[in-house]
Structure 1
Amino acid sequence: MTAQRVLVVDDEAKIRMVVRGYLEADGFTVSEAADGPGGLRAALDDEPDLVILDVMLPGLDGFEVLRRLRSSSDAPVILLTARDEEIDRVVGFTAGGDDYVTKPFSARELALRARAILRRATAPEADDGLLRFDGLLIDPGRRAVVVDDGRHVDLTALDFDILRALARAPGHVFTRRQLLERVWGYDFFGDERVVDVHIATLRRELGDAAGRPRFIGTVRNVGYRLVAPPAGG
Structure 2
Amino acid sequence: MVKLAQLHLPGYGFAKTADSGASAVTAAAAPPPILCASTRRIVLISPYPNLLHELIRDLSAACYDVMVFHRADDYVLHSLQADLYLIDGSAADMLGSDPGFRTFTSDPSKLSRAVLLDDRHKEGKAFRTGFDSEGMPTVAPAAALEFVQDWLLRHPAADEADPGILGFKDLILDTKRMAVFRGGSPIDLTKTEYELLLSFIGAEGAVQTRDHLMATIWDAPFFGNSNVVDVHVKSLRRKLGDNALAPMYIETVRGVGYRLAD
TM-score (norm 1): 0.40
TM-score (norm 2): 0.36
Larger proportion of strand: 2
Q: Which one has a bigger Cα radius of gyration? A: 2
Structure with the bigger RCO (C-alpha within 8 Å, sep 6+) is 1
